[in-house]
């Protein structure tokens, strides 16, 4: 039986997901394929019907459709409700269940770097789409302090109330000279290689970025003397989470394989 998998989003030209999933397909010996659909908002309903008609098993969802796609789901699994976003669709007999494996990806990223947020002072920068993977995890991990900082404070407030169980909120001016154990970047600053903001905060233990290119992102280059983690392992682990949902197979990704592809010999 051939398993049809894919990705929807817009734009998709820089996606690394096909490399990850095709490697999983190769490694597990499963018969299938992973295709990218760069779809406009107006063509989204037709594309979802197409997936049903042609027996697709699973679809990943990326920017800008992670919230929009929820209305096409017949059922939402707990993780997607926790995040208010869906990155994985499972098709079963014409019915769609929405999952969120970004939270799992974030959790595995921290675990694989031996970083724990329990009992720590955690600062999250950004309150956009990417922050939705971080907030449920940190909230549940019982940090000593959890602060969400965003340029537009009202967005931080909204997301804190909805998903953050009332995490503290602030603007960038308000964190100057503050001290945190773990600082996480979920803003889009650095995606195009631009420098990060001048943060003027003290980070004691770890800086974690959801951006993964270049190896030392502009956010990570703001710090020294702390553990630094870029977002590649989160991307790979969220893919492993989706692959498990679609195929039932657990893959243990070899991170060095993906690091070699993205960064070469560094
Ligand atoms: P979304 O993921 O919701 O589409 P985005 O526009 O990609 O949003 O931005 C993601 C995050 O990066 C947001 O938290 C955004 O801050 P605002 O909510 O104030 O827009 C943040 N961000 C992007 N560019 C920024 C910049 N130059 N300075 C500060 N924050 C920035």
51-92 per-position pLDDT tens digit: 999 999 999 999 999 999 999 999 999 999 999 999 999 999
Average pLDDT estimate for 120-136: 97
Active-site residue, 266 included: no
The per-residue pLDDT for 1 is 84
Average predicted confidence (pLDDT) for the chain: 97
To test the pocket of ligand 1, the residue of 66, 67, 128 to mutate (highest count of ligand atoms within 8 Å of its CB) is 128
State which ligand 1 atom lies nearest to the alpha carbon of 64.
4
Angle, helices 232-247/17-28, rounded to nearest 10 degrees: 50
Does residue 126 have its Cβ closer than 6 Å to ligand 1?
A: yes
Does residue 145 have its Cβ closer than 6 Å to ligand 1?
A: no
Q: Report the C-alpha gap between 48 and 55 in whole angstroms.
A: 11
Asked if residue 208 has pLDDT above 90, the reply is yes
Residue 194 alpha carbon to ligand 1 centre in Å: 14
Query: Which position among 66, 107, 120, 228 bears the catalytic label?
Result: 66
The per-residue pLDDT for 266 is 60
Q: Any idea which of 59-73, 110-124, 162-176 has the lowest mean pLDDT?
A: 162-176
Q: State percent of the chain over pLDDT 90.
A: 97
Residue 15's pLDDT band, with cuts at 50, 70 and 90, is very high
22-53 per-position pLDDT tens digit: 999 999 999 999 999 999 999 999 999 999 99
Buried b (16+ CB within 10 A) or exposed e, 170-196: bebeebeebebbbbbbbbebbeeeeeb
Residue 188 alpha carbon to ligand 1 centre in Å: 6
Does residue 218 have its Cβ closer than 6 Å to ligand 1?
A: no
Coil, strand or helix at 116: coil
Q: How many Cβ atoms sit within 10 Å of the Cβ of residue 206?
A: 23
Does residue 155 have its Cβ closer than 6 Å to ligand 1?
A: yes
The per-residue pLDDT for 24 is 98
State which ligand 1 atom lies nearest to the alpha carbon of 63.
4
The per-residue pLDDT for 262 is 97
Q: Report the C-alpha gap between 52 and 47 in whole angstroms.
A: 9
Residue 212's pLDDT band, with cuts at 50, 70 and 90, is very high
The closest alpha carbon to 197, from 188, 206, 226, belongs to: 188
The per-residue pLDDT for 5 is 98
Asked if residue 243 has pLDDT above 80, the reply is yes
219-233 per-position pLDDT tens digit: 999 999 999 999 999
Atom 5, ligand 1: residue with shortest CA distance = 128
The tokens describing 82, both together, are: 């926790």
To test the pocket of ligand 1, the residue of 187, 198, 210, 219 to mutate (highest count of ligand atoms within 8 Å of its CB) is 187
Asked if residue 125 has pLDDT above 80, the reply is yes
Residue 166's pLDDT band, with cuts at 50, 70 and 90, is confident
Asked if residue 110 has pLDDT above 70, the reply is yes
CB-based contact 33:57 (threshold 8 Å) = no
Does residue 214 have its Cβ closer than 6 Å to ligand 1?
A: no
Does residue 154 have its Cβ closer than 6 Å to ligand 1?
A: no
Does residue 152 have its Cβ closer than 6 Å to ligand 1?
A: yes
Does residue 189 have its Cβ closer than 6 Å to ligand 1?
A: yes
């Amino acid at each position: 039986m051939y398993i049809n998998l894919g990705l929807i989003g817009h734009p998709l030209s820089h996606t690394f997901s096909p490399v990850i999933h095709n490697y999983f397909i190769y490694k597990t010996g499963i018969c299938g394929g992973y295709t990218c659909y760069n779809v406009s908002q107006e063509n989204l309903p037709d594309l979802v019907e197409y997936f049903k008609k042609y027996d697709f098993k699973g679809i990943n969802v990326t920017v800008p459709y992670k919230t929009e796609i929820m209305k096409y789901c017949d059922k939402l699994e707990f993780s997607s409700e926790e995040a208010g976003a869906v990155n994985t669709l499972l098709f079963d007999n014409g019915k769609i269940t929405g999952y969120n494996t970004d939270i799992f990806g974030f959790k595995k990223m921290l675990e694989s770097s031996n970083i724990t947020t329990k009992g720590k002072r955690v600062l999250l920068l950004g309150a956009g789409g990417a922050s939705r993977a971080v907030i449920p995890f940190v909230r549940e991990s019982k940090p000593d302090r959890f602060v969400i900082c965003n340029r537009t404070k009202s967005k931080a407030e909204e997301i804190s109330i909805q998903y953050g169980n009332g995490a503290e909120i602030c603007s960038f001016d308000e964190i100057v000279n503050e001290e945190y154990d773990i600082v996480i970047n979920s803003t889009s600053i650095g995606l195009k290689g631009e420098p990060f903001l001048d943060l003027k905060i003290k980070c004691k233990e770890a800086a974690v970025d959801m951006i993964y290119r270049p190896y030392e992102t502009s956010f990570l280059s703001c710090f020294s003397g702390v553990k630094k983690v870029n977002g590649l392992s989160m991307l790979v682990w969220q893919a492993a989470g989706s692959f498990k949902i679609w195929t039932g197979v657990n893959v243990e990704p070899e991170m060095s394989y993906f690091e070699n592809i993205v960064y070469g010999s560094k």
